[in-house]
Structures are given as C-alpha cells and as structure tokens.
Amino acid sequence: MKKLFLALVVIAGLAALVGVIVTRTEVGQNALFERAMQTQFARTPDTFDGLRVVVCGSASPLGNSPERAQACIAVVTPEHFFLFDVGARSPLRISQARLPTNRLNGVFITHYHSDHIAALPDVNLTTWVQGRSAPLPVYGPPGIERVIEGFNIAYELDRSYRTAHHGEELLPPNVGPMQAVAFAPGNVVWQDERMTISAFAVEHPPIAPAVGYRIDYGGRSVVISGDTNAADGLFAAAQNADLVLHDALSRAMLDPMIEGATSANVPVLPQIMNDVIDYHADTLSLPDAAAAAGIRQLVYYHLVPAPPNSIAEAIFRRGLPDSVILAQDLHTFDLPTGSSDIIVHEP
Ligand SMILES: [Zn+2]
Ligand SMILES: [Zn+2]
C-alpha cells in the first residue's frame, strides 16, 4: 500500500514537472503555440443543413455587462450569412461562434440607435481582410445612406492606410467602403430561390422608421423584432413563425433601479430609465400575443436591463411562462429543413 502511494506521488511529481517544462520553457511554449495556430487556421466553420440563428448580442444600452454584447443576431444557412444589427462588442461573439465571416452577404439594420450600428466598421474591416470581393451591402429603412456615408467618411483614412500597406491587389480600395441599400418597410427586401427577407414597421417612438425582419428559408422562419413595443404589425408579420426574437423590458427589474437611482440623487439617469419604458416591449405583454399568432418559440434577446446574474434573471422572468427563453450571448437555435424541430444550444 505504501509502495503504491509512493509510486502515485512520483507519477504526480513527474506530470507536474512535464507541465512546467511545456508551459515555462521556450521549446514547450513554441510547440503549444504552433499547435494552436494550426488548429485555428485549419478550422472550418460549422455547417448545418437548415436555418441557424445565433444570438451575437443580447444586451441593450442600459447596463454594460461584460457578459453581453449589444444587439446582434446572425442568420446562417449553407448558402447565406446575414447579420441583423451589429451593436458594440458583437464582433467578438461573431468570432467565438465561428461564423463564416468570409462569406457575409450583408447586414440588415433595424434602426439607427447606436447599440444597433456601433460595430459596422469592425464587421466591414474583418470581412474585407478575409477576401470579400464586393463592397459590404448594409440594408435599412430610410436614413441608412446617411449612416453609411458617415461611417465611410470616418474610416476613409483607415482604409487608405490598409490599402497602402498591403497593396491594392489584396485590399482593393473599391471594396473598402460599405454600400447603403435603402428600402421601404412593408416589403420583401431581399430574395433568392431559397430565402426571403421581409421588413415590417414596428413601434419605437420617437424613432421612425424602425423595422423588424422576417426571414423564411426552406419552410422555416425566424422573426427579429429590433426595438419595439408589443406591435400589432410584428405579430401580423410573424404569423406561424417558428422562432421570434423579441426586445423585452422588465418592469420588475427596472422599477427598483429607478427608485434606487432617484433616492441616491443620481443625476439624469432616473429620467432616462423612465423614458425608455414606453418604447420597449414589457416582458408581460408578449406571450399571449405570440401564442395567438401561432409563434412556436418566443425568445427575449434585447434585454432591458440585461440581468447581470441569476438572481436578476429570476426577477426578469417573473410572470413569464417557462417556455419563454431569455437569450444569452451565443445562444443558438437550429431549424432543420424538412422538420419542425427547434434545436436549442445553450451557450
Ligand atoms: Zn436598442
Ligand atoms: Zn432603439
């Protein structure tokens, strides 16, 4: 018994020594790093035969949790890759989710609040340096031309440096600027043989236009609300959708925050928090309307305020049916074609 114990101690000691040699010596570090690089560059993004929806940002501007990026939803099929809004920090999630950035077809914007557009220049640059061969189209309701013109001007010098440094063949200057594509809500705004994307007006006063999107692919469907109240237009457009990702505001969480900030005499913030109440959807206003519209899975994703921990999440969930999912960043929903399954991958 004693011998066995001694042998185990010796083995553990040797293992620790090997660990030290591998991690603390240049030879060991180089070997580990080379292996990591081989894995990273050889990786191929996951492929999935159907409509895959990835939450790349589930936060709102209120409460800057390091756990959550701002609004961003990725929609991926074997033939398509679109992003719907790209708020701050969403490029990190896009990368973590191993999304196929080398074949990004375009970005759709719901409205021009900063938490929906802030990462446009990063997404543009990342896909440009990965070999995108045409300017990145950015679709949105009227106003998109102005937003894109502004970003293109702000990043003009950056683009010129990169082309000067790496050469026109690698980074052609005509591919660098984003291309605005404006549409009128209420229409099909993008279509090919397999996918249809339509936009509908939502209610986010005083912001107008603000739109949501419905994406249909292979008999499966997802609706993305953007920022809105519980809007009749959305539920009309979302009839019988498989999946609806909806903006949601929790009074159970927000009201005590307003009270706390007011009694602590915090300037400005209490009024700001009060003002947002009427332009996001109350968590309790959606489940019945979603059920009446035949929606199969309701997911809350633009969480106002984003709950920072499990206790806050329990407060956010109060009064909700268990079937409603509160999205976290990197929550993934797979809708296989030729099936009615909704496969949920927790982050
Ligand atoms: Zn927002
Ligand atoms: Zn907004």
pLDDT tens track for 64-100: 678 899 999 999 999 999 999 999 999 999 999 999 9
* Residue 273: inside a domain: yes
Q: Tell whether the model's pLDDT for residue 39 goes beyond 80.
A: no
pLDDT tens track for 293-318: 999 999 999 999 999 899 999 999 99
Contact in structure between 227 and 243 (CB atoms under 8 Å): no
Number of domains in the chain: 2
Q: Tell whether the model's pLDDT for residue 261 goes beyond 70.
A: yes
DSSP three-state, residue 56: strand
Tokens of 234: 């959305």
Calculate mean pLDDT across residues 39-51: 75
* Residue 173: inside a domain: no
Label residue 15 by pLDDT band (50, 70, 90): confident
Tell me, yes or no, whether 312 and 260 share the same domain. yes
Contact in structure between 221 and 245 (CB atoms under 8 Å): no
Instruction: Please tell me the predicted confidence (pLDDT) of residue 63.
Output: 64
In the chain, the amino acid numbered 108 is F
* Residue 57: inside a domain: yes
In the chain, the amino acid numbered 320 is L
pLDDT, mean over the chain? 93
* Residue 297: inside a domain: yes
Q: Which ligand places an atom closest to the C-alpha of 228?
A: 2
Instruction: Please tell me the predicted confidence (pLDDT) of residue 185.
Output: 86
* Residue 316: inside a domain: yes
Calculate mean pLDDT across residues 9-16: 79
For residue 259, give its domain range. 47-122+183-345
Instruction: Please tell me the predicted confidence (pLDDT) of residue 59.
Output: 93
20/63: higher pLDDT? 20
Contact in structure between 132 and 125 (CB atoms under 8 Å): no
Instruction: Please tell me the predicted confidence (pLDDT) of residue 7.
Output: 79
Instruction: Please tell me the predicted confidence (pLDDT) of residue 43.
Output: 61
| Helix 156-166 and helix 120-128, axial crossing angle in degrees, nearest 10 | 20
Q: Which residues surround ligand 2, an ion (CB under 5 A)?
A: 113, 227
Instruction: Please tell me the predicted confidence (pLDDT) of residue 46.
Output: 64
Tell me, yes or no, whether 11 and 55 share the same domain. no
Rounded distance from Cα 204 to ligand 2 centre (Å) = 7
Calculate mean pLDDT across residues 16-28: 82
Tell me, yes or no, whether 301 and 222 share the same domain. yes
Label residue 2 by pLDDT band (50, 70, 90): confident
Tell me, yes or no, whether 209 and 278 share the same domain. yes
Q: What is the DSSP letter of 284?
A: G
Q: Which ligand places an atom closest to the C-alpha of 275?
A: 2
Instruction: Please tell me the predicted confidence (pLDDT) of residue 22.
Output: 76
Instruction: Please tell me the predicted confidence (pLDDT) of residue 38.
Output: 84
CA 53 remoteness from chain centre: 9
Task: Show the 3-state SS of 114-167.
Answer: HHHHCCHHHHHHHHHCCCCCCCCEEEECCCHHHHHHHHHHHCHHHHHHHHHHHC
d(CA 227, CA 87): 13
Contact in structure between 55 and 331 (CB atoms under 8 Å): yes
* Residue 196: inside a domain: yes
Calculate mean pLDDT across residues 246-262: 94
Instruction: Please tell me the predicted confidence (pLDDT) of residue 138.
Output: 98
pLDDT tens track for 212-243: 999 999 999 999 999 999 999 999 999 999 99
Q: Which residues surround ligand 1, an ion (CB under 5 A)?
A: 113, 115, 227
Calculate mean pLDDT across residues 19-34: 85
Q: Which ligand places an atom closest to the C-alpha of 202?
A: 2
Rounded distance from Cα 194 to ligand 2 centre (Å) = 30
Tell me, yes or no, whether 21 and 109 share the same domain. no
Tell me, yes or no, whether 19 and 68 share the same domain. no
Rounded distance from Cα 147 to ligand 2 centre (Å) = 15
Tell me, yes or no, whether 6 and 74 share the same domain. no
* Residue 177: inside a domain: no
Rounded distance from Cα 21 to ligand 2 centre (Å) = 53
pLDDT tens track for 183-204: 998 889 999 999 999 999 999 9
Tell me, yes or no, whether 218 and 272 share the same domain. yes
Calculate mean pLDDT across residues 164-171: 96
Q: Tell whether the model's pLDDT for residue 21 goes beyond 80.
A: no
Q: Tell whether the model's pLDDT for residue 41 goes beyond 80.
A: no
Rounded distance from Cα 172 to ligand 1 centre (Å) = 34
Calculate mean pLDDT across residues 131-152: 96
What CA dihedral angle connects 294, 297, 302 and 305, to 10 degrees?
100
d(CA 295, CA 242): 6
Q: Tell whether the model's pLDDT for residue 258 goes beyond 80.
A: yes
Tell me, yes or no, whether 90 and 193 share the same domain. yes
Residue 212, domain CATH = 3.60.15.10
Tell me, yes or no, whether 275 and 320 share the same domain. yes
Label residue 17 by pLDDT band (50, 70, 90): confident
Tell me, yes or no, whether 25 and 64 share the same domain. no
Rounded distance from Cα 280 to ligand 1 centre (Å) = 9
* Residue 159: inside a domain: no
Tell me, yes or no, whether 75 and 97 share the same domain. yes
Q: Which ligand places an atom closest to the C-alpha of 210?
A: 2
